[in-house]
């Protein structure tokens, strides 16, 4: 019986591939019947050298809660590796109403994300990173009210980020990094009270950074680099007191940096090189900063700068003009 098609693995191995969020007591690779000995609930087949496509018939496993088919080859970054899943995401995935976890990253899946995925009302995690997906992010993803991990980075997705994403108030992780997304950021105030990671770097996004982001009080990692964002960095950034990393490099941000950055006492990395900053720099330069390459930088002393910061990647404010 298919409920016997599995092997036990260590808790460490399992969580290395599925994230620390997994709190179950069953650590198996293969097909597993969690609730009884009849209905397959978990399909976990990472590092299995699988090839081909995901069949439509996967919908026959109507009790599936957990699909993990990522990383079919241990050395999956080798371009000549023949071991990966390809083809399009089957529409039948959207009929598996009990699905809570989909992990298909590091394959060569093509085509678009089916809008029918918005029917998966129990889904809490979706990882489609590092594939060859195209098309836009469907607005129906905003129906996934239980979603807390949303990863579609390192694909070829285009179009705007749908405004419906603001409905996903359980999100703790957003990664749209390294796609071809355009338009402005739709993030509204108070949409993501639990959000820890917000990553949209390396796209073609533009406009100003919305003030709504300053209301995401749990935010720790904020990655917006290599886009076309313009305007000033709002003083409201000082409200994000839990921030550890800010990455805004390689944009068109102008004006002066707000002194409220000095309120971010947990900050460990601040990267804002290659922008269009001007004016006066009021925050103290940490003692370990020595590079002032390609800029005129005469920092003034201030008592409120966070001396614990360890990566201050202004690269001497490369391609900015900041004076005393």
Q: Output the 3-class SS for the chain.
A: CHHHCEEECCHHHHHHHHCCCCCCCCCEEEEECCCCCCCCCEEECCCCCCCCECCHHHHHCCCCCEEECCCCCCCCCCCCCCCCCECECCHHHHHCCCCCEEECCCCCCECCCCHHHHHCCCCCEEECCCCCCCCCCCHHHHHCCCCCEEECCCCCCEECCCHHHHHCCCCCEEECCCCEECCCCCCCCCCCCCCCEEECCCCCCEECCCHHHHHCCCCCEEECCCCEEEECCCHHHHHCCCCCEEECCCCEEEECCCHHHHHCCCCCEEECCCCEECCECCCCCCCCCCCCCCCCCCCCCCCCCCCCCCEEECCCCCCCCCEC
pLDDT at 290 over 50: no
* Predicted pLDDT at 267: 85
Question: How distant, in Å, are the alpha carbons of 52, 57, 162 from that of 88?
Answer: 10, 14, 22
Q: Residues 12-37: pLDDT tens digits?
A: 655 555 554 544 555 667 777 777 77
Mean pLDDT of 80-98: 88
- Residue 35's Cβ-count burial label (10 Å; 0-12, 13-18, 19+) is exposed
Q: Residues 231-254: pLDDT tens digits?
A: 999 999 999 999 999 999 999 999
pLDDT at 302 over 70: no
pLDDT at 10 over 90: no
Dihedral angle at the C-alpha atoms of 11, 13, 14, 19, nearest 10 degrees?
Answer: 100
Buried b / exposed e across 40-74, counting CB within 10 Å, b at 16+? bbbbbbbeeebeeebeeebeebebbbbbbbbbbbe
Report the candidate in 175, 167, 127, 172 with the shortest Cα–Cα distance to residue 144. Answer: 167
Q: Which residues contact 79 (CB under 8 A, 6 or more apart)?
A: none
Confidence of residue 148 (pLDDT cuts 50, 70, 90): very high
Confidence of residue 102 (pLDDT cuts 50, 70, 90): very high
* Predicted pLDDT at 82: 65
Confidence of residue 38 (pLDDT cuts 50, 70, 90): confident
- Residue 32's Cβ-count burial label (10 Å; 0-12, 13-18, 19+) is buried
Confidence of residue 198 (pLDDT cuts 50, 70, 90): very high
Higher pLDDT, 168 or 14: 168
Q: Residues 50-88: pLDDT tens digits?
A: 889 999 999 999 999 989 888 755 544 444 556 789 999
Mean pLDDT of 281-302: 37
Confidence of residue 318 (pLDDT cuts 50, 70, 90): low
pLDDT at 299 over 50: no
Q: Classify the phi-psi angles of 317: left when phi > 0, otherwise alpha if psi is within -120 to 50, otherwise beta.
A: left
Quote the CA–CA distance of 106 and 131 in Å, as a whole number. 6
* Predicted pLDDT at 283: 47
Confidence of residue 2 (pLDDT cuts 50, 70, 90): low
Mean pLDDT of 168-176: 97
Neighbours of 177 (CB within 10 A): 21
């Amino acid at each position: 019986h298919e409920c016997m098609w599995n092997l036990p693995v260590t808790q460490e191995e399992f969580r290395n591939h599925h994230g620390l969020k997994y709190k179950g007591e069953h650590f198996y690779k293969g097909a597993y019947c969690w609730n009884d000995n009849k209905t397959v609930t978990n399909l976990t087949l990472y590092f299995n050298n699988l090839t081909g496509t995901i069949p439509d018939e996967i919908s026959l496993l109507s009790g599936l809660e957990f699909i993990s088919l990522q990383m079919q080859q241990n050395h999956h970054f080798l371009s000549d590796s023949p071991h990966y899943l390809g083809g399009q995401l089957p529409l039948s995935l959207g009929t598996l109403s009990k699905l809570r976890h989909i992990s298909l990253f590091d394959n060569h899946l093509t085509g678009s994300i089916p809008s029918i995925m918005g029917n998966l009302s129990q889904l809490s995690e979706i990882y489609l990173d590092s594939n060859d997906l195209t098309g836009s992010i469907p607005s129906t993803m905003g129906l996934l009210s239980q979603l807390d991990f949303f990863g579609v980075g390192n694909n070829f997705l285009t179009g705007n980020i749908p405004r419906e994403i603001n409905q996903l108030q359980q999100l703790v992780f957003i990664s749209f990094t390294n796609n071809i997304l355009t338009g402005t950021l739709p993030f509204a105030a108070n949409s993501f009270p639990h959000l820890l990671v917000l990553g949209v770097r390396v796209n073609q996004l533009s406009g100003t950074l919305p003030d709504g982001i300053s209301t995401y009080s749990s935010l720790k990692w904020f990655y917006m680099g290599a886009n076309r964002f313009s305007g000033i960095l709002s003083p409201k950034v000082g409200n994000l007191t839990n921030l550890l990393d800010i990455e805004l490099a390689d944009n068109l941000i102008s004006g002066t940096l707000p002194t409220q950055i000095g309120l971010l006492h947990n900050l460990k990395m601040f990267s804002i090189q290659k922008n269009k900053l001007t004016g006066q720099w009021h925050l103290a330069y940490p003692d370990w900063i020595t590079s002032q390459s390609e800029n005129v930088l005469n920092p003034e002393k201030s008592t409120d700068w966070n001396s614990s910061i360890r990566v201050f990647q202004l690269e001497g404010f490369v391609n900015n003009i900041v004076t005393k």
